[in-house]
């Protein structure tokens, strides 16, 4: 049953990608006349609603981890979570280039793993390596198709100019890793004996089309919210109620809503504070990516601790 739901979602996401791409090509003049700030606000809205919500059940997952470590006070979990998030932001402000590189590597692995795990459960070192390689398509596709725009985002994220110059001079690295990411998709298709190959192919095709047609921020938002996040929400909803998926979705919404709202409020507070020092366009880009980084690291750490403890048991 769950594989059918994933299959339908993949098909619908591909239709969404193709539909939006055709609309964007036909309405090229309309989109070019849109204020960049409006586009950024729309992207921020989807990320703060659908995107953020897929990690809003970390509080629910923490119950399992606290039980394993025999900790009764849930406030300890929230405290550690907040400290890690704050530490990521602090490190980014001091060592932005290294923080961005670390985030891109961790995010690539996370995207590769989460978007593939329903098809293939692999624990070998080679599997882990190819999760990273496969997920890196999200990083290298915008660099390949919209190099200057992507570098402008990196610059907004306070990346060292020496690193930006290095990317300009050594452009072959982008081409090489983009090719490798395609090999990553082929690797998992082969591991799965080409069963459900169309899912992997449509995922890859959709990501390439999105990054070819749209600017990096729009392409990332559509992927992050409507493929990665929705797929994770499907997994969580099924976990919440294996007998009634629709009920699982309802339970997910109820459980995820409070933390999603709190996170969205924190994002808005951060944007107000940053707007005193930066332009609004730069503020939105900063809170989207640095904010996601600050949530991604504790989220992945939680998933990792749960995984290793489940293996032991």
Q: Which helix (H) or strand (E) holds 158?
A: none
* Residue at token pair 């904010």: 291
pLDDT at res. 122: 67
Quickly state the pLDDT bin for 313 (edges 50, 70, 90). low
**Contacts of range 195-201, beta carbons closer than 8 Å, 24 or more positions apart:** 196/3, 196/7, 196/119, 198/10, 199/6, 199/7, 199/10, 199/119, 200/116, 200/119
Whole-model pTM: value is 0.92
For the residues 75-81, what does the mean pLDDT come to?
88
Task: Spell out the residues 6+ positions from residue 312 whose beta carbon is closer than 8 angstroms to its own.
Answer: none
Domain locations in the chain as residue ranges: 2-312
Rounded CA gap, 220 and 210, in Å? 8
Buried b (16+ CB within 10 A) or exposed e, 266-305: bbeebbeebeeeeeeebbbbbbbbbbbbbbbbbbbebbeb
Q: Which of 271, 240, 202, 171 is nearest to 8 (CA)?
A: 202
Are 171 and 143 spatial neighbours (Cβ–Cβ below 8 Å)? no
The CA distance from 44 to 287, in Å, is 9
Buried b / exposed e over 233-256, threshold 16 CB at 10 Å, is bbbbbbebeeeebeebbebbeebb
- Per residue in 101-159, pLDDT (tens digit) is 999 999 999 999 888 877 766 678 888 899 999 999 999 999 999 999 999 999 999 99
Q: Residues with Cβ < 8 Å from 215, sequence gap 6 or more?
A: 39, 146, 149
| pLDDT band of 59, cuts 50, 70, 90 | confident
CB atoms within 10 A of CB 165: 11
The answer to whether residues 225 and 47 touch, using CB atoms and an 8 Å cutoff, is: yes
Q: How many whole angstroms separate alpha carbon 143 and alpha carbon 39?
A: 20
pLDDT in tens, 197-223: 888 999 999 999 999 999 999 999 999
Give CA–CA dist 127/113, Å, rounded.
Answer: 9
62-82 residues labelled b (16+ CB within 10 A) or e (exposed): beebeeeeeeeeeeebeeebe
Kindly state the average pLDDT of the residues 265-281.
89
CA 53 → CA 11, 233, 245, 260, 295, distances in Å?
Answer: 22, 8, 18, 5, 11
pLDDT of 33: 65
How far apart are the C-alpha atoms of 143 and 193, rounded to whole Å? 31
CA–CA gap between residue 107 and residue 113 (Å, rounded): 10
In this predicted structure, what is the pLDDT of residue 230? Answer: 93
């Amino acid at each position: 049953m769950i594989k059918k739901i994933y299959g339908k979602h993949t098909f619908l996401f591909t239709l969404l990608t193709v539909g939006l791409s055709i609309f964007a090509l036909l309405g090229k003049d309309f989109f070019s006349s849109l204020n960049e700030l409006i586009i950024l606000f729309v992207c921020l809205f989807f990320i703060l609603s659908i995107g953020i919500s897929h990690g809003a059940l970390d509080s629910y997952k923490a119950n399992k981890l606290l039980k394993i470590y025999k900790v009764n006070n849930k406030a300890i979990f929230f405290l550690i979570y907040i400290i890690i998030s704050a530490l990521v932001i602090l490190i980014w402000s001091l060592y932005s280039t290294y923080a961005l590189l670390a985030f891109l590597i961790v995010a690539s692995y996370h995207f590769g793993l989460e978007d593939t795990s329903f098809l293939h459960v692999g624990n070998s070192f080679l599997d882990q390596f190819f999760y990273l390689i496969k997920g890196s398509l999200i990083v290298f596709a915008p660099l390949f198709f919209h190099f200057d725009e992507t570098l402008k985002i990196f610059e907004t994220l306070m990346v060292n100019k020496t690193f930006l110059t290095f990317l300009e001079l050594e452009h072959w690295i982008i081409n090489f890793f983009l090719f490798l990411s395609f090999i990553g998709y082929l690797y998992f298709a082969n591991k799965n004996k080409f069963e459900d190959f169309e899912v992997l192919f449509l995922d890859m095709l959709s990501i390439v089309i999105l990054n070819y047609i749209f600017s990096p921020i729009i392409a990332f938002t559509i992927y992050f919210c409507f493929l990665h996040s929705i797929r994770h929400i499907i997994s969580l909803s099924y976990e919440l109620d294996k007998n009634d998926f629709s009920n699982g979705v309802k339970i997910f919404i109820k459980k995820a809503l409070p933390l999603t709202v709190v996170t969205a409020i924190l994002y808005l507070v951060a944007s107000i504070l940053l707007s005193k020092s930066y332009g609004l366009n730069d503020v939105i880009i900063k809170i989207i990516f640095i904010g996601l980084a600050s949530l991604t690291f504790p989220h992945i750490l939680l998933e990792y601790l749960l995984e290793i403890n489940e293996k032991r048991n």
